[in-house]
Amino acid sequence: MKRIQDLWCEAVSGPLRRLRALLIAGTIVAQILVVIAAILAARRLGPVHAVAMALLVSCALTLSLVAILLLGRLSAKLNDTRALAMLQGWIAERGWRIRDFFLDGASADASLCLLVAKVLSLRPRRILELGSGQTTKLVWNYCRDEPGAEAVSLEHNAAWSRVLDQYLRPAIPNHVVRVAPLERRTWSGPRGKEVTSEWYGVNDLGDGYDVVLIDGPNGSRNYSRSGIVPQLPKLLAPSFVIIVDDAERYGEIMTLGLIESTLQGAGRKYVRWEANGLKRQVVFATPDRGFLVHS
Ligand SMILES: C[S@@+](CC[C@H](N)C(=O)[O-])C[C@H]1O[C@@H](n2cnc3c(N)ncnc32)[C@H](O)[C@@H]1O
């Protein structure tokens, strides 16, 4: 069952989310004021008139709330459509033929893939991807074109990995998908708080990653996908970009806080920004990559 905080995060996800959060909160407050006003007016106008007026105003407020929510989803879809057009142009420009590039369901959406494309166009050297899928096809194509780059994609689901494998052919030495079952790990968070999360059963990832894409394993309610956090400072190259997908969800929002305090604790300077389609991606990057905010 969804919690209040999950529903709230869902309602305000997408473009202009701060404005929408304000409008939604304002509408809820206005509904409460209408009830109070109706109770006060009942003495003067009589209960029938007061209730009728309150119902009328309340209906108008509810309709405007529905309109705000629907317009939010519509503008998110428009953002995704715009991202898809740019992404297709970028893929065509590189001459990549990507089969079955379906950006729906559990897959990455166009806005995430476009972010990945923009980061790949900066020619990173070492890429770590958590959770494999459509973005892995982009990473594999990139590694094929750039033999000097290396990428590791971690995947927990062996059956899905077998399906995806047929799209990552021929095998290339500089891209590996490592299939590893998930383990529950408990660790001490930045302020001494105990955090339990799932992590792929691997310990030897090395270091020096200039791109880390956090889009797996499947989300959890609290501190979703935070298993990478204890390893983050060590994994990162001096110049890095971290992309966190599904950052509209409460569990991922909790993890964003952990990532920030971990980076701050390790004295790593960063800029943070976000991309909003139907899903939200939050990006942390060293200031030398900060221009991506405007790209
Ligand atoms: C959010 S998805 C990872 C998405 C990935 N970055 C992508 O581009 O599709 C998290 C997990 O969902 C599973 N998954 C991804 N795409 C899938 C698909 N098309 N069908 C079934 N499972 C999928 C994989 O196990 C993956 O690790």
pLDDT for position 2 = 77
Count the alpha carbons within 13 Å of 294 in the hemisphere toward its beta carbon: 4
pLDDT for position 105 = 82
Backbone angles phi, psi at 244, to 5 degrees: -115, 120
Q: CA-CA distance, 23 to 8, in Å (whole number)? A: 13
Question: Which tokens in the block code for residue 275?
Answer: 């991309």
Ligand 1, atom 25, lies closest to the CA of: 157
pLDDT for position 5 = 85
pLDDT for position 151 = 98
Which residues share a beta bridge with 236?
209
Q: Is 200 in the pocket of ligand 1 (CB under 6 A)?
A: no
Q: CA-CA distance, 153 to 174, in Å (whole number)? A: 11
Backbone angles phi, psi at 208, to 5 degrees: 75, 25
Q: Is 15 in the pocket of ligand 1 (CB under 6 A)?
A: no
Say what the pTM is: 0.91
Q: CA-CA distance, 54 to 48, in Å (whole number)? A: 10
Q: How far is the CA of 155 from the centre of ligand 1 (A)?
A: 9
Q: Is 106 in the pocket of ligand 1 (CB under 6 A)?
A: yes
Q: How far is the CA of 227 from the centre of ligand 1 (A)?
A: 17
Residue with tokens 């021929």: 170
43-90 pLDDT, tens digit per residue, is 888 999 999 999 999 999 999 989 988 988 899 999 999 999 999 999
Ligand 1, atom 12, lies closest to the CA of: 106
Q: Is 135 in the pocket of ligand 1 (CB under 6 A)?
A: yes
Top mutation candidate among 107, 136, 200 for ligand 1, by most atoms within 8 Å of CB = 107
Top mutation candidate among 215, 242, 244 for ligand 1, by most atoms within 8 Å of CB = 215
Q: CA-CA distance, 96 to 112, in Å (whole number)? A: 18
Ligand 1, atom 5, lies closest to the CA of: 133
pLDDT for position 128 = 98
Q: Is 132 in the pocket of ligand 1 (CB under 6 A)?
A: yes
Q: Is 160 in the pocket of ligand 1 (CB under 6 A)?
A: yes
pLDDT for position 193 = 83
pLDDT for position 14 = 79
Q: Provide the 3-class DSSP secondary structure of residue 234.
A: helix
Q: CA-CA distance, 278 to 255, in Å (whole number)? A: 20
pLDDT for position 225 = 96
List of the chain residues with pLDDT < 70: none
